[in-house]
Structure 1
Amino acid sequence: MNKTIAPVVAAGAMALFAIQIGLATAADEKAPKAQSGTSENIPPAIRYESHIAAGGAPPVGGKLVNPFSGNSKVAAAGEQMFSAMNCDGCHGGGATGFAAPSLADGRWRYGGEEDELFQTIYFGRPKGMPAFGGLMSADDVWTVVTYLKSLPVPDDEPTESWVGK
């Protein structure tokens, strides 16, 4: 390389590097900051018995708590949301089952506690249950969970569980 051009090229490269650093810094300042697990939109890492942990030691996690538990007005809104989000398209009207399992019979593949239902709706499950966490806020998910937990379990189930027999 020519001795007179080398300093110009080096200066140009340094200028481009400085511009890239400045752009990266500006982008970092505009990027959303990491939030703790107590944010309304991001559920904390949780721990419950339905999880299967490698090595037999589940990671430490918090406990999700439904802020609307037992609230009949929120349950009524949850019924409307269940329909509006087309949950009844798979789980049937009244969540009694259709192409997807009944959510009103008291039997749950991935756990029927409120925090487990939240995880199922928010993150989805294999073989058919889509994740709604990108479409619904945490409060909306809790609203649907409140509705599901308000459904009366029928006295006479049409089928019996074969697990443990």
Structure 2
Amino acid sequence: MGAVSVFGLKAMAEEECCPKDDQTPPLELIEKTPIGGLHNPYNDDTAAMEEVGHKKYLSFSCNGCHGGGGGGGMCPPLTNDTFVYGADDDTLFRLIALGSDDLQSWATRASGRRS
């Protein structure tokens, strides 16, 4: 995915990972989509990514923990090139929608479903 601004990351959280007009709630998308199947439809539209992402980042109060520019605060910075869980679209979508604790729990359950 390359370097994406903090605002671009938030653009992935609700209207994305499939067609831009897909209105499936994020948690339903996670449950029905196999790991690796979620993709950011804004990858080729950086202007929309910035605009949509910025609005969502502020409206969901992400800046309260991750800082106004995403540089960190009481939560990790979102402007790093390296992410603990991975930087692919699928992982970032699940991380934003679930949060880190629930992402770990979900991944454990999901891997158990495949066994």
What TM-score does the superposition give when structure 2 sets the normalisation length?
0.57
Question: Which residue of 2 is the match for residue 99 of structure 1?
Answer: 74
Residue-by-residue CA offset, 1:50-91 (whole Å, 9 max, x unaligned) = xxxxxxxxxxxxx11212223212322211210111101000
Which of 13, 35, 43 is the equivalent residue of 1:47? 35
SS in 2 for 1:95: coil
Q: 2:66 & 2:86 partners in 1: Cα distance? A: 16
Does residue 41 of structure 2 align to residue 67 of structure 1? Answer: yes
Identity of aligned residues (%): 28
Q: RMSD over aligned Cα, in angstroms?
A: 2.2
Question: Which residue of 1 is the match for residue 61 of structure 2?
Answer: 86
Does residue 106 of structure 2 align to residue 126 of structure 1? Answer: no
1:101 Cα deviation after fit: 0.5
1:39 Cα deviation after fit: 7.0
**Equivalent residue runs for 1:14-53 within 5 Å:** 40-41=24-25, 42-43=28-29, 44-48=32-36
User: Once superposed, which parts of structure 1, at least 4 consecutive aligned residues long, lie more than 6 Å away?
Assistant: none
Equivalent residues of 2:42, 2:48 under 8 A apart: no
Letter in 1 for 2:24: E
1:107 Cα deviation after fit: 1.6
Q: Between Structure 1 and Structure 2, whose CA radius of gyration is higher?
A: 1
Does residue 89 of structure 2 align to residue 114 of structure 1? Answer: yes
Gaps of 5+ in 2: 1-21, 103-115
SS in 1 for 2:77: coil
Structure that is richer in helix per residue: 2
Equivalent residues of 2:63, 2:70 under 8 A apart: yes
Residue 80 to residue 39, structure 1, CA distance change in 2 (3 Å)? closer
Residue-by-residue CA offset, 1:18-71 (whole Å, 9 max, x unaligned) = xxxxxxxxxxxxxxxxxxxx87222133325xxxxxxxxxxxxxx112122232
What TM-score does the superposition give when structure 1 sets the normalisation length?
0.41
Between Structure 1 and Structure 2, how many residues are aligned?
A: 76
SS in 2 for 1:100: coil
Letter in 2 for 1:67: P
